[in-house]
């Protein structure tokens, strides 16, 4: 104590039954400490640093449902960057926060391996981002209020193409014999008998994706066009609504 106020290290139980155990400075929680208790969401616990009676600096907050946030704090809320984990679905968000919400740039991954990496605003996808699906397909484009909005590039992974049905080799040979009016051949052409499959290649490299230009309006797809090497590159400018709501600067042309 100092001048009748908590000062140094100590434990204080508030009338609300919340407990602070840690460092004090002239009557205020200040420095490293632990704050725990129960609120409308259930039991909670914060381990980290404090500034003038507020959670501020670096710390970890744990809720009774198993969710956690570990990262930067100010004014009793997550502000800055950190990692938020949801126990119920295994999702993990790593990125920027503002007033306790996902805001700025961040990546959210899910238990099935899918993820969104991009821009957020007030806890929703807002701006440019990349969505990677668990089957390796991917989409890069713009979001507004958590749904796709504007132009984007959808990439279909080759492994997700439907299998090509091939005729039995005997059928191919019989058709060839009939066409040639021969009763038998000494040897069939190599392309009919070979069982080796060669994956598509481009410029000496394996093709991994088939690209599609897409345009979305409020989560509904309005355009879907396969892109080819000879096509003119499409425009990927953000729509006005995205620019205004997601904090983009508009260029006057």
Phi, psi at residue 209, to the nearest 5°?
A: -130, 150
Residue 93 above 70 pLDDT? yes
pLDDT bin (cut points 50, 70, 90) of residue 231 is confident
Task: Tell me what pLDDT residue 174 has.
Answer: 62
Mean pLDDT of 228-240: 88
Q: Indicate if 134 and 240 belong to the same structural domain.
A: yes
SS3 track for 141-173: EEEECCEEEEEEEEEEEHHHCCCCCCCCHHHHH
Domain presence at residue 85:
yes
Question: Which contacts (CB < 8 Å, 24+ apart) does range 114-122 have?
Answer: 118/143, 119/143, 119/246, 120/95, 120/96, 121/245, 121/246, 121/247
Mean pLDDT of 52-81: 98
Domain presence at residue 192:
no
Q: Indicate if 165 and 82 belong to the same structural domain.
A: no
Domain presence at residue 249:
yes
Domain presence at residue 155:
yes
Domain presence at residue 32:
yes
Q: Indicate if 82 and 204 belong to the same structural domain.
A: no
Q: Indicate if 48 and 149 belong to the same structural domain.
A: no
Q: Indicate if 212 and 232 belong to the same structural domain.
A: yes
Q: Indicate if 20 and 133 belong to the same structural domain.
A: no
Contact (Cβ atoms closer than 8 angstroms) between residue 108 and residue 90 = no
Domain that holds residue 71: 1-111
Q: Indicate if 248 and 151 belong to the same structural domain.
A: yes
Last residue of a domain, one of 78, 111, 144: 111
Domain presence at residue 117:
no
pLDDT digits (tens, 9 = 90+) for 33-61: 999 999 988 999 999 999 999 999 999 99
Task: Tell me what pLDDT residue 198 has.
Answer: 36
CATH of the domain at 58: 2.20.110.10
Q: Indicate if 22 and 100 belong to the same structural domain.
A: yes
Q: Indicate if 94 and 145 belong to the same structural domain.
A: no
Residue 45 CA to residue 68 CA, distance in Å, equals 10
Q: Indicate if 134 and 205 belong to the same structural domain.
A: yes
Q: Indicate if 75 and 139 belong to the same structural domain.
A: no
Domain presence at residue 36:
yes
Mean pLDDT of the chain: 86
Domain presence at residue 191:
no
Q: Indicate if 69 and 144 belong to the same structural domain.
A: no
Task: Tell me what pLDDT residue 201 has.
Answer: 36
Residue 58 CA to residue 77 CA, distance in Å, equals 11
Mean pLDDT of 218-227: 96
Weakest mean pLDDT among 65-69, 166-170, 191-195: 191-195
Task: Tell me what pLDDT residue 172 has.
Answer: 58
Q: Is the pTM of this model over 0.75?
A: yes
Domain count, the chain: 2
pLDDT bin (cut points 50, 70, 90) of residue 166 is low
Task: Tell me what pLDDT residue 251 has.
Answer: 61
């Amino acid at each position: 104590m100092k001048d009748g106020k908590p000062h140094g290290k100590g434990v204080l139980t508030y009338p609300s039954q919340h407990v602070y155990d840690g460092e004090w400075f002239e009557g205020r929680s200040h420095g490293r400490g632990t704050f725990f208790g129960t609120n409308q969401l259930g039991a909670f616990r914060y381990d980290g640093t404090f500034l003038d009676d507020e959670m501020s600096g670096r710390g970890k907050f744990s809720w009774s449902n198993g969710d956690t946030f570990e990262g930067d704090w100010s004014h009793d809320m997550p502000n800055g960057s950190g990692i938020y984990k949801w126990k119920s679905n295994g999702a993990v968000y790593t990125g920027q926060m503002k007033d306790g919400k996902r805001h700025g740039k961040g990546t959210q991954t899910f238990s099935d391996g899918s993820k969104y990496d991009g821009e957020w605003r007030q806890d929703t996808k807002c701006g440019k981002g990349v969505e990677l699906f668990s089957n390796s397909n991917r989409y890069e484009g713009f979001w507004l209020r958590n749904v796709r909005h504007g132009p984007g590039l959808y990439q279909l992974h080759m492994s997700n193409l439907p299998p090509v049905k091939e005729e039995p080799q005997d059928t191919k040979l019989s058709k060839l014999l009939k066409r040639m009016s021969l009763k038998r051949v000494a040897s069939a052409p190599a392309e009919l008998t070979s069982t080796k499959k060669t994956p598509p290649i481009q410029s000496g490299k394996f093709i991994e994706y088939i690209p599609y230009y897409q345009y979305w309006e409020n989560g509904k797809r309005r355009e879907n066009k396969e892109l080819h090497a000879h096509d003119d590159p499409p425009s990927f400018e953000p729509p006005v609504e995205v620019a205004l709501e997601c904090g983009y600067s508009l260029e006057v042309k």
